[in-house]
Each structure stands twice: as structure tokens, then as C-alpha cells.
Amino acid sequence: MTSQILTQLLQALSLLSVLLLLGVFLRAKVKLFQKLYLPASVIGGFIGLLISPEILGRLSSISISEEYIKTYSLLPGILSVPIFAAVPLGMFLNEKKNIKSLYPTKVLIAFGIFQCASMLQSAIGYATNMLFTKISPEIGMYRTFGYELSAGFAGGHGLAAATGKLLEGFGIPQWEIAQGVALTTATIGLVGGMIFGIIFINIAVRRNKTSVIKKIVNENTENINKIDKNMERGYNSNINTQASLGRETFLSSSIETITFHLAIIFAVCGIAYIVLNFIKKIGIAGLDVLPVWTYSMIIMFALNMLIKKLKLEWMVDSKVKAKIMGTLSDFAIVSAITSLPIKAIIHYIAPIIVMCIAGFIFTYLIVFIFNNMLFKNDYAFERAIISWGTLTGVLITGMTLLKICDPEYKSPALTEFSLGFSLMSVTGLLIVPILNTVLAVGSTWDNFITAIISSALYLAFAFIVYFFQRKVKV
């Protein structure tokens, strides 16, 4: 590696930084972006796409260079490793528990419903693949097409940006196309999920289905206006009320707290690469196809337990870790969208539209029907709307929709859903390697069946917990 390569990388990152700043400015000024809660990274990414060779380059000689685009297409895959590695860090550390106020069974039910819908999204994607393979073979559907729906909807732009790296590791030649498709579904999900969510809330309030807000005033604008304006604009100009980045666990005379957390994350990434290379060298079937970030999560989980065992919890702050993940995600998302392969996406536009429409419909049915069934007269709509927003966008989308119908978060929906959402990180250490193995070597049909069975098992789990809860109450 030469200084010239590093200089070019710095220049490429400089342009991404400008795009992020433009995204921040537009989010603060454009009402539409505020109402849709579009992240600055998504806005900046689409600005980058507009001035890329795929669009502006076709109309003018001035555009982002092809070298930068190549770098941007690879960057999300690289950044995904430390992003996923950081997930277990700080888990179960420094938690203030009040067990009596929590209902573990409700957390597990929310977890089961969410995972059921997420896996069903994957099944819908693979079903779309098989449908278009049969009716339009000239499109040339690749084997893993369909994975992108769940990656984009339930996973959001962060997981969507990591899709290329995952499939590239599996030897899928269309990995760049898949990354573009996943980012497309993520954007459709984020925008559509927010718009449909607001419509669902208006209908629910009119029909008296909400538990916190019981009547609508002027088309619900009174309640909607209660949403924190800072959240809409994306910044807080009041210095006195600005939140802290986290605890300063180390003193700068030794090491910066952020540096310490980054050092742990990057060190674990390095160990994960060593483990994966060793597994590939000795040829352990099944394990050699797993992406490196799977190993990084497992190693970090073990390290996190060691930190807890040694009573060194004071060294780690989950809030600082989350900010590092958010920073890396911002750069991963803006670079991934900027490098979208427009031509390839247009080629697959019909199956993309079909699976997104089906994804919205079935996600709605699963989330609202089963929340109404298993949480009857127990904030069912509030639980459903935060799940809907997260399954089509990101957690902040779900929280924003919940805030419209529960402005002060008086319902238990946010607390219990957040705990269930965190549970996915733990179970993912067991489930994700299995799903990825099927994705790596299985046919489209194999992946479809695996997704259907997984979805059914998660739903069965939710019902088992529900009936156990009722039996205990009796």
C-alpha cells in the first residue's frame, strides 16, 4: 500500500463527508425530508448518485470519478465488519434492572412476531424470484435474489449496505447488483413505511383503536405536532438540552474513551479475520462460507462476557459504542447509495416492485393481526405500529410512529419491543450462521423453504409463550 492510495482514500472520504453535510442541511430545511425522517446519509447518498457517472456522467463530462465509485461500492462491505462486531459490546453491562416492572413473556411474544414477519419477508423475496424465473426467464434472476427484501425492509440501510460483502464472500457474481437492490428496497421500505404508518395511525385514531390517544382533532394534526421538532429537523440548537455522547470511561491523559472502544472493535475484527482464514485453510465445511462479521460478533460476545466476569463493566459504555456504530453506518450508507448500479436495478425493477408491494401487505397482516390477537386490550396498536415502522425502516422509524400515537411513551410498547429487539442480537449468534450457510450453498427453493419454516417456528414460539402466560395467570 502506497501513500498515493491512502491519499486517494482520504479524498474519496472527503467527498462523502461533503455529501453527508449536504444531507444534514437539506434535512434541516426541506419539510418533506423532515416529515419522512430521512437520514442525512440517505439524502446525501442520493445526491451522490445524481452526480455519479450513472446519471450526471451520461449528460456531462463532470461527475464523480469511476475510481471513487469503485471505492464506494467496496466501502460498505468493509465497514460492515466493525459495525456488526460492535453489536455485542456492552450488552448486559451496567444495566439498571427492575424485573418486577417488566413482563418477560410479552417481550418474547413481541420478539416472536417481529422475527416471524422478518423471515416471511425473506420468503416473499425468494417466492418473487421463482415467480419471475418461471414467467420471465429472460430477466435472468440470480440464485439469491429475494434476500434483499428482508435485508432492506427489516435490516434497513445499514444491513442493506452490507449485503454486497456478504454475497461476495459466498462467490455470488451479482453481489454489486444485490447491494443496489437491497438499498432500493431499504429506501422504498423507509419512505413507504413512514407514509403508510401515518395513514394507519389516522385510521386507528378515528376508529378508537389506540389506547393512549382517544380522539382525533383536525385530522390528528394536534397530536402529530406534539412530535419533537428537533427530531424532525435532525438537530438541537439549545446547548442546555443537548444530550451527552456517553460516559468518559477513560481519561485523555491515558487514552480517549472513543479510541479505547474503537481499539476493542478493530482488534476483534482482526481476530475474526485470523479465525476465518484458519477455518478456510483447514477446510471446515459449512463454517468456511460464513462471513467474517459473523465471527466478529461471536468473538465480541465472548469478550463482552469476559468483561462482565472480570467486573470491568466500567470500561465500556453502550452509548459510546452506539455512536461509533452510527458513525460507521452513516459513511457505509452514503457510499453504498452513491455507488448504486442504476442500470442493473432498472433491469430488475419489475420483481423489485412486486416483492416490495407483497412485503408491505404481508408485513401489515402479520404485525397487526397477531398483535391484535396476542395483545388484545393491551396496547395492541401501539405495539403493532412500532413493529411495523422497524420492519419497514429502522428502529427510529418505529419509535417516531409510536410517538405520534403515544407522545410521551406512556405505553409499555417501546420498552418491551426494545428488549425483544435486543434479544435478536443474542439469538442471531445461533440463527444467522445457519441461515447464511443455506444462503451460501442452497438453491432459491432451499432458501424459500428455510425462510417459511423459520417464520412458522417464530410464530409458534410467540403462541407457545402466549398460552404459557395465560396458564400462569389462571
Q: Tens of pLDDT along 43-80? A: 999 899 999 988 888 888 888 888 898 888 888 878 88
Is residue 206 within 8 A of residue 212, CB to CB? The reply is: no
User: Mean pLDDT across the chain, nearest whole number?
Assistant: 85
How confident is the model at residue 257, as a pLDDT?
95
pLDDT digits (tens, 9 = 90+) for 295-322: 888 899 899 999 999 999 999 998 899 8
Q: Which of 115-119, 171-175, 438-442 is modeled with the greatest confidence?
A: 115-119
Query: Grid cell 378515528 — which residue?
Result: 206
Distance CA 197, CA 191 (A): 10
Query: Which among 381, 371, 454 has a CA at the least distance from the CA of 118?
Result: 454
Q: What is the pLDDT of residue 446?
A: 95
Pick the residue with more confidence: 219 or 337? 337
Please state, in angstroms and rounded to a whole number, the distance separating the CA atoms of residues 71 and 85: 22
* Residues 69, 70, 71, 73, CA torsion sign: positive
State the pLDDT at residue 387: 93
Q: What is the pLDDT of residues 120-172, one digit of tens each?
A: 999 999 999 999 999 999 999 999 999 999 999 988 877 788 888 888 888 88
pLDDT 10s digits, 163-177: 888 888 888 899 889
Q: Is the pLDDT of residue 100 over 70?
A: no
Q: Number of helices (H) and strands (E), helices first, in the chain?
A: 20, 0
CA–CA distances in Å: residue 367 to residues 37, 121, 154:
22, 12, 13
- Answer yes or no: is pLDDT of 95 > 60: no
Residue 214: predicted pLDDT: 58
In terms of Cβ atoms closer than 10 Å to its own Cβ (0-12, 13-18, 19+), residue 178 is: buried
pTM, entire model: 0.74
Helix, coil or strand: residue 329: helix
Q: Among 50-54, 102-106, 116-120, where is mean pLDDT lowest?
A: 102-106
In which band, very low, low, confident or very high, does the pLDDT at 412 lie, cut at 50, 70 and 90? Answer: confident
pLDDT digits (tens, 9 = 90+) for 382-401: 999 999 998 998 777 787 78
**Computed from CA positions of residues 42, 39, 116, 360, in that sequence, does the dihedral angle turn out positive or negative?**
negative
